[in-house]
Amino acid sequence: MSGHGRTAILRRLLAVVAVAAATLSMTSAPAVAASAFEFDHTVSATWSGADGCIPEGYGALGCFQHDGDIFRVQDTARDGHSAAIYWHNYLPGSSTLYRWGSCVNNDGYLTIGKCNKNFREGSTIKFKTCLYDDNAVTIPSNVANYYDCTTVWTVIA
């Protein structure tokens, strides 16, 4: 076999190895899929001095307490709508969505409710307060049920 023939075979062999390596690298580390939507109704609560709160807006006030991973949400408008916190949780140091959900207070005007979560230490939580109306046509994870939302706040668990 001539030198040109061996070079051609070697090139083909290297190309096959490169394709195989690329294929293995794409399949060896599966992506982490976000868990199912976590829909929680609040239980009665009071405010805690340790809370970091989003400024009240549109009839809802929302806070996150790092110690215990507790969301608190207050209905601040006599408008017939529930107040909610809509949140996303990302793995530590990553933009990979790990968990998502909402915490809905449907106990009425001026009530305060809380949802106790257990987030991974160091993970990022992005949340906003919204008005919420149950919609018999859609499921709670449908973002159309949440409206008049504040800007998103970011905290580290």
Q: Residue 8: which pLDDT band, with cuts at 50, 70 and 90?
A: very low
CATH number of residue 97's parent domain: 2.60.40
State whether 77 and 109 are in the same domain: yes
State whether 103 and 86 are in the same domain: yes
Q: What share of the chain in percent tops pLDDT 70?
A: 75
State whether 51 and 118 are in the same domain: yes
Q: What are phi and psi of 16, to 5 degrees?
A: -65, -45
Across the chain, mean pLDDT equals 81
**Strand pairing class (60-65; 52-57):** antiparallel
Which domain does 78 fall in, by range? 38-156
Q: What is the pLDDT of residues 52-77, one digit of tens each?
A: 788 888 999 999 998 899 999 999 99
Task: Give the angle 60-65-92 at the CA atoms, nearest 5°.
Answer: 110
